[in-house]
A and B are shown apart, each in its own frame.
Chain A
């Protein structure tokens, strides 16, 4: 019983990170109808940036995170700007463009930080909490808290602010949105920047839990993508539920199937997607090509 809860706790904290990654995927998808394949590598850059500002420049962890988010937000803006001429013209090329950006980002990471990677010590010095024999790392609680805040903030932005509402409008019908004076380009740029910022948040938070190297994007991306699929691509709530589901599933699979855990996780995922192709909160997909 104790084991079960211990496994659950670690599944939840990684699940929160996957949820953040999935939210970034979903946000860009719901505004532009585009899957940003560079997303996972932006998260990797975010992790490297956060760890560099935290360890090398010795900024406080929170400040390092904010700087990292600004850095990746800027990368998001650049990617959107480069892809903008293709918007509404060649959708396939846009997709390939994002894949290309991902590869470039990995190469850049190796150029800047080298190939070895680094372990990031936890920014919280306090010892893990012991609740009825279940050890809860204080850092895990922080990660879950920050992820929850991000979900609430994003929800508020999309439903309560003018900018957010405009983004939703663009997602529904970009021609009508243009007609009423919404700048589609700026809306897309904002979606990309926020998505990239979320990626940095996920990457920066996961650094002290895992290990930061150029392949981190692969590990986060595949789980985050699966989380978005499982929850229903484009749905923010879906991203949260999907992320936590994948995290917990992964954690239990690792406990029971050891070396075959990844296989089991994705088998379950595949079956779930076969039963419900649109995911849990599946919406009609947006396609602008």
Chain B
């Protein structure tokens, strides 16, 4: 009341925003008109969307490196139809809202295909926009909710949670004879997908979890949930969460005196999980994964060597997935003579590809791989369970 200057304050801000907005539009306009979707010349524009900052950035980084490796190899061989493949990386920060904005940006800047994201929630958020603008997208996400989108433009470069977790449940119950299984999962898209898939698979084998704890995606202290799990005295604990959170859960569980082994899907096979929890804590963790190690096949060895040469670090599942996914998109582009939209999506669906993760054969649901193997962590390394 006593400061008359105040109500005026927003006005310069508003003007500023308008000017800025106008400037941004002015800048992007020429690009839009110059490059039409599916143009017959010039570089082929592919967008890579991933978390490049935040807690999920290691995931995004792996995927980016895998995709870039594939694209660089294709470009070295002369691209597709003499056209180079131009990739651009976008940072979704692991955030669905940011992802939705990026989806619109990708559509308006006429990218013909998108690789990513590594995060189910972000991919799901982006799916409707990409479907509407007919941009095929191959994701590293694995939540069954991805399939439920029923988008003909959405593909998975790996198995779904159902595949991961039914294999795992079968192994735990039938091979290992565990009857008392506890579950801890987060309420994010990935965690919920894992939770539902594993609970269903275990239920079909006649096992109900002795404890079923749900945590949030940004939670860091799990004492309460782990205390309940400890009271249930499980023989094995299933984790449905991303790398860092899963690592923290295992670390804190050991502090609370939970000695049971842990079990989970792809995130539990990563170095980030192992480092976060500590080598000793993760010993004996069961992992369901389509890509256990770089040694498993000649193709994997070749990929791992190329990866190491390019980035100076060991390859792992997510890089391999993105490498496969990107190769599939590029193969489809080649087979279809650089088609776009619906035609490109159909070409991807028709692509048969022998990848690092297995033989891809896409169904109507966009899933190409329906098999995983069981690994176990020994001395801080994921090895095949024999």
Interface of A toward B, CB cutoff 8 Å: 2-3, 6-7, 9-11, 14, 110, 115-117, 119, 121-122, 128, 130, 135, 137, 209-211, 213-215, 219, 251-252, 254-255, 258-259, 261-262
Contacts and interface: CB of A to CB of B under 8 A. Distances in A.
Interface string B274-296: 01111000000000000000000
Given A115-B57, A117-B244, A128 B227 contact: no
A6 B244 contact: no
Contacts of A121: 278
B228 interface: yes
A206 to B, nearest CB: 9
A3 B227 contact: yes
A116 B255 CA distance: 24
A172 B338 CA distance: 74
A154 B270 CA distance: 44
Interface string B234-266: 000000000010011001000111000000000
Contacts of A258: 187, 213-215, 225
Contacts of A130: 257
Among all A-B residue pairs, the 3 with the closest Cβ atoms: A10-B223, A255-B224, A259-B187
B187 A135 contact: no
8 contacts: A7-B223, A209-B221, A210-B221, A213-B55, A219-B218, A251-B221, A251-B224, A252-B224
B55 A135 contact: no
B98 interface: no
Contacts of A209: 220-221
A219 B277 CA distance: 20
B53 A251 contact: no
Interface string B169-197: 00000000000000000110000000000
Contacts of A135: 255-257
Contacts of B215: 254, 258-259
Interface of B: 52-55, 57-58, 186-187, 213-216, 218-225, 227-228, 230-231, 244, 247-248, 251, 255-257, 272, 275-278
A254 B225 contact: yes
A211 B58 contact: no
B255 A128 contact: yes
B58 A128 contact: no
A264 B277 CA distance: 29
A254 B52 contact: no
A128 B214 contact: no
Most buried by B among A2, A209, A258: A258
Nearest to B231: A3
Contacts of A11: 223
Given A115-B53, A211-B248, A254-B219, A259 B214 contact: yes
B224 A10 contact: yes
B227 A119 contact: no
A214 B213 CA distance: 27
Contacts of B57: 115-116
B55 A215 contact: yes
A273 B52 CA distance: 39
B227 to A, nearest CB: 4
Contacts of A6: 223, 227, 230, 256
A10 B220 CA distance: 12
A122 B277 CA distance: 11
A128 B225 CA distance: 18
Contact of A110 (B53, B187, B225, B278): B53
Given A130-B257, A210-B248, A262-B216, A251 B223 contact: yes
Nearest to B277: A119
Nearest to A256: B224
Given A116-B272, A213-B54, A254-B215, 12 more contacts: A3-B227, A10-B221, A10-B227, A117-B244, A119-B251, A135-B257, A209-B221, A210-B221, A219-B218, A252-B224, A258-B214, A259-B187
B220 A210 contact: yes
A47 to B, nearest CB: 12
A128 B254 CA distance: 10
B257 A128 contact: yes
B220 A219 contact: yes
B54 A115 contact: yes
B119 to A, nearest CB: 14
A254 B252 CA distance: 15
B2 to A, nearest CB: 11
A219 B218 CA distance: 9
